[in-house]
A and B are shown apart, each in its own frame.
Chain A
């Protein structure tokens, strides 16, 4: 702790991928011999920053200092030479090989294995002793538990002389007991003078193990704090962001009959994790229900299951009072029943970017007889339809033949919005309506959603912008770890209150 220089110093790091600024003028100082947490939502730029530090990407601007020395890190071997090791979220291990073979991989020290393996074996024994890392050097990696495989990754980094260890979402794959063992190990490493950078979006872990925390949001570093002096609620607030309050004019809601009811919905993903647990909610005509939550806590799963893109493991969905069977729950049928969906990720789900704008304006509705005779689509009819929508929704430029990838994010979003809203939905599922959209378009989109609500449409709004959820919603549900942790009337809550719910501090503590 008293080392004269910080272990790692980043100053003014910027990195853009095309028009997307993944890191904007990021600075970070990590004290030697400390455990430093970096938190932020998915896509906040944590992984990009660490990839720059580990040499996967080169920053467009900025400086990296390691123990006070400026270093250019252009590859992972530069990073290793600078004493930086990384444990990836998805392990980089060769499963059929033994522990010791994995450890020497890439550091064999010559054309023949024998010497390298012997050296590794000795070193492994020493490291195991020093950090209490019991592991059989001859075990086949594929047969080890996930927790032990992670240890192999850590040993690999230590074998290469890492002084600074970066762990990317290390507990995502661990059981709680394994996570506790990992934290023990991290403390042991710290006691031996190693520096640990822990990337996560789980606030409990940050509170449990780190000395300092840095918070990233939308590519920027927004806070550096001592862990002792902060709280999960404060961190959640910093992660989600408090922006200039978005004022949205809205009249009192005229709530009608319930249209979409879900009871006890659970979703199990292909890895067997329960990403949505026993969620129940009801949407009424003429109201906007917002979902507040740190990204990755079940919002996407909730939208997908309601939109018919995934099937629930358990639970019942009713639309207009009718129970939807598995056969009814497909996107085409739900659209016919008046349930429209503006997906969270317009580029990956909502649009085919290689298509002309006009072709995207009929995505999901290409069977509509209005667009051509019999099995054919008439380009003239499709383009005319798209032009009307683009004019109504102020898409610029109004060119239905232009490739969708060439429109700005806001205009792409308006193409999706026009397509889904135009068809007079009864229920509208909206995911991240203003992500990557400029201010002018945000206002426009908000006004449209409010107008739709006033016409009696039931709207479910998922957004990472807490401000947006608060400004638009009549009622707010908080999600944490796939569970609904609370429900509030929008007028009767504030950011602190929601922040606690989002951090999983349940009702009893509130």
Chain B
């Protein structure tokens, strides 16, 4: 009866609406492909084959998925506290700087110490870069949307300065650090499984994928099973009730932002320690922003974030293959398709909620 917020059963909210959104996005993307004279079905087949059809493609897909899990979780944790952290890029950048410092300074340490320390340094760097906007929001009322995006710019110039002037490789014109010591490099999955006699093609997929899976579980436990998560969700859903309950919204805002930034740091772990084995410029490559779409699509729930991250992994890897096989479908076309998915899954979400709700209420008749 009530008209105001659209009430949906849980299953519809968590599964049906995102599915409808993705389907609609695929239809529109298909029309775009059709408009340049290519077959949408063929393009879809190429995209899926390229991303999931071979072990090599799958390895690349999961490598992209790793990045999206970290940045998606970062946005999701902040969402639960009612905050919109769009500073994933900057937080990952600072995380990369911290990880590089740890890897290069602590180079004499054995891998068993160096790797965890470098990962912790990355988390601390990301946390710091998100904590400052959180602190400003909590104590000064400066909106995190504004401050986090400003911090992206600060981080972007900071890394240029450091790579060119301070941490750069001696005698190199490239803005990049020297290579990390061998024991600081995260083991590629194909080498890891190779040790068990499984022969896999060489891909960038590395053990940070396992770290991402662990992060999904940890965030789930934090948000839905811990006292802190309860406080975070209370602040996000009703700050007045939180204050009434003796929870300090200011403290929770700072804590949630720090956790969010630490998760964004996972992007640096995968890229710098897992793939590049050194710190390079622009390694964040927009993954931080796509994390927003991943979190929106995944409804902030770790299971949803994991699935949405996989979807974007498929789009990234399959899209790359598609543009390789079909010269008419350029890299830019693939970006357009990704953009359509983001548009439908994030911005136009309300459209399909209403549609799904009215279809469901038709089905139930007048009983409700």
Task: Tell me if A331 and B243 are in contact (CB < 8 A).
Answer: yes
CA distance A363 to B241 in the complex (A): 8
Q: How far is the CB of A301 from chain B (nearest CB, A)?
A: 15
A218 within 8 A of partner (CB): no
| B227 adjacent to A355 (CB under 8 Å) | no
Q: Which residues of A contact B3 (CB under 8 A)?
A: 18
List B contacts of A350 (CB < 8 A): 241, 244
Q: Is the C-beta of A332 less than 8 angstroms from some C-beta in chain B?
A: yes
A238 interfacial contact with B, CB 8 Å = no
Q: Determine if B197 is an interface residue (Cβ-Cβ < 8 Å).
A: no
Q: Which residues of A contact B247 (CB under 8 A)?
A: 332
Instruction: Select the stretch in A64-72, A156-164, A190-198, A373-381 that faces chain B.
Output: A373-381
B36 part of interface (Cβ distance < 8 Å): no
Docked Cα-Cα span, A72 to B26, in Å, equals 45
Residue of A nearest to B240 (CB): A349
B241 — which chain A residues lie within 8 A by C-beta? 348-352, 363
Chain A residues positioned under 8 Å from B234 (CB to CB): 352, 355, 363
- Contacts A335-B246, A366-B227, A377-B227 given; does A348 touch B238 at CB 8 Å: yes
Contact with A along B212-244 (1 / 0, CB 8 A): 000000000100011110110110011011011
* CB-defined contacts of A362 to chain B, threshold 8 Å: 230
Q: Which of A18, A351, A353, A376 has a CB less than 8 Å from the CB of B225?
A: A376
Please, what's the 1-or-0 string for B1-20, where 1 marks a CB less than 8 Å from any CB in chain A? 11110000000000000000
Instruction: Decide if A332 touches B246 in the complex (CB within 8 Å).
Output: yes
User: What is the interface size of chain B, counting residues whose CB is below 8 A from a CB of the partner?
Assistant: 22
In the bound complex, CA of A350 to CA of B240 (Å): 8
**A-chain residues with CB within 8 Å of residue B238 when the two chains form the complex:** 348, 351-354
- When the two chains form their complex, are residues B227 and A376 in contact, meaning their CB atoms are under 8 A apart? yes
Q: Which of A18, A349, A377 contacts B244 (CB 8 A)?
A: A349
Output the nearest chain B residue to A335 by Cβ-Cβ distance.
B246
Interface assignment of A55: CB less than 8 Å from any CB of chain B: no
Whether B231 and A366, one on each chain, are in contact in the complex, defined by CB atoms closer than 8 angstroms, is yes
B112 within 8 Å of A by Cβ? no
Min CB distance A430 to B, Å, is 14
- What is the bound-complex CA distance between A17 and B3, given in angstroms? 8
Q: Which residues in chain A, 330-374, are within 8 Å of chain B measured between CB atoms? A: 330-333, 335, 341, 343, 348-355, 359, 362-364, 366-367, 372
Q: By CB atoms of chain A within 10 A, which of B238, B245, B247 has the most?
A: B245
Given the complex, which residues of A lie within 8 Å of B231, measured CB to CB? 366
In the complex, the chain B residue whose C-beta lies closest to that of A364 is B245
Number of contacting residues on A, CB 8 A? 31
> Using Cβ atoms and an 8 Å threshold, which residues of chain A touch B1?
18-19
B245 and A366 contacting across the interface, CB-CB below 8 Å: yes
- The residue on B at minimum CB distance from A336 is B246
B240-A348 in contact (CB<8A): yes
Q: Is the CB of A377 within 8 A of B230?
A: yes
Q: Which of A19, A364, A366, A377 contacts B2 (CB 8 A)?
A: A19
A303 to B237, CA, bound (A): 23
Whether the Cβ atoms of A331 and B245 lie closer than 8 Å is yes
Asked whether any CB of chain B lies closer than 8 Å to the CB of A309, the reply is yes
Q: In the bound complex, how far is the Cα of B224 from the Cα of A376, in angstroms?
A: 9
B225, B226, B237: which contacts A352 (Cβ < 8 A)?
B237
Q: What is the distance, in angstroms, from A360's C-beta to the closest C-beta of chain B?
A: 9
B4-A376 in contact (CB<8A): no
Q: In whole angstroms, what is the CA distance A415 to B226 when docked?
A: 22
Specify which chain A residues have a CB less than 8 angstroms from the CB of B226 in the assembled complex.
Answer: 375-377
Interface residues of A in 367-397 (CB under 8 A from B): 367, 372, 375-377, 379
Please name all residues of chain B whose beta carbon is closer than 8 Å to the beta carbon of A330 when the two chains form the complex.
246
- CB nearest neighbor in B for A378: B225
Q: Is the interface of B mostly helix, strand, loop or mixed?
A: helix
Given A376-B226, A376-B227, A354:B244 Cβ within 8 A: no
Query: What is the minimal beta-carbon distance from B349 to any residue of chain A, in angstroms?
Result: 17
Q: State the CA gap A307–B3 with chains docked (Å).
A: 35
Complex CA distance for A353 and B234, rounded to whole angstroms: 10
Contact B227 A367 (CB under 8 A): yes
**A379 adjacent to B230 (CB under 8 Å):** no
Question: What B residues does A332 contact at CB under 8 A?
Answer: 245-247
Contacts of B243 in A (CB 8 A): 309, 331
Please give the distance in Å from B291's CB to the nearest CB on chain A: 24
Contact A354 B237 (CB under 8 A): yes
Establish whether residues B245 and A18, one from each chain, have CB atoms under 8 Å apart when the complex forms. Answer: no
A267 to chain B, nearest CB (A): 16
Rounded to whole Å, the gap between the CB of B284 and the closest CB of chain A is 31
B227 & A363 in contact (Cβ 8 Å cutoff): no
A367 to B3, CA, bound (A): 37
- Whether A331 lies near B244 (C-beta < 8 A) is yes
Residue of B nearest to A310 (CB): B243
**CA of A428 to CA of B234, assembled, Å:** 23
CA distance A364 to B238 in the complex (A): 13
Which of these, A18, A351, A364, A379, contacts B4 with CB under 8 Å?
A18
Of A330, A348, A364, A366, chain B has the most CB atoms within 10 Å of the CB of A366
Let me know if B227 and A375 touch, CB within 8 A.
Answer: yes
Task: For the complex formed, measure the closest distance between the CB of B235 and the CB atoms of chain A, giving whole angstroms.
Answer: 10
Contact of A364 with B244 in the complex, beta carbons under 8 Å: yes
A372 to B240, CA, bound (A): 25
Residues A364 and B225 in contact, CB atoms below 8 Å apart? no
Q: Please, how many angstroms separate the alpha-carbon atoms of A362 and B230 in the complex? A: 10
B279 vs chain A, min Cβ distance (A)? 34
Given known contacts A330-B246, A366-B230, is B221 in contact with A376 (CB within 8 Å)? Answer: yes
Contact B2 A379 (CB under 8 A): no
Q: Which residues of B contact A331 (CB under 8 A)?
A: 243-246
Closest-by-CB residue of A relative to B242 is A352
A376–B226 Cα gap in the complex (Å)?
4
Q: A19-B1, A331-B244, A364-B244 are in contact. Are A372 and B227 (CB under 8 A)?
A: yes
Which B residues are CB-close (under 8 A) to A364? 244-246
Q: Which of B4, B233, B246, B247 has the most CB of A within 10 A?
A: B246
Residues from chain B with a CB closer than 8 A to the CB of A366 are 227, 230-231, 245
Contacts of A333 in B (CB 8 A): 246
Interface residues of A in 5-25 (CB under 8 A from B): 17-19
Q: A18-B1, A352-B237 are in contact. Are A309 and B227 (CB under 8 A)?
A: no
Chain A residue, CB-CB nearest to B235: A352
Complex A-B, nearest 9 residue pairs according to Cβ-Cβ distance, in ascending order: A332-B246, A18-B2, A364-B245, A331-B246, A352-B238, A352-B237, A363-B245, A354-B237, A349-B244
Could you give 19 example pairs across A and B, Cβ below 8 Å?
A18-B3, A19-B1, A19-B2, A307-B244, A309-B244, A332-B247, A333-B246, A335-B246, A348-B240, A348-B241, A349-B244, A352-B233, A353-B237, A353-B238, A355-B233, A355-B237, A363-B245, A375-B226, A376-B226
Binding site for A on B (CB under 8 A): 1-4, 221, 225-228, 230-231, 233-234, 237-238, 240-241, 243-247
Known: A350-B241, A352-B237, A363-B234. 15 other contacts (CB 8 A): A18-B1, A19-B1, A331-B245, A332-B247, A341-B244, A343-B244, A349-B244, A351-B238, A354-B237, A355-B234, A359-B230, A363-B244, A363-B245, A367-B227, A377-B226
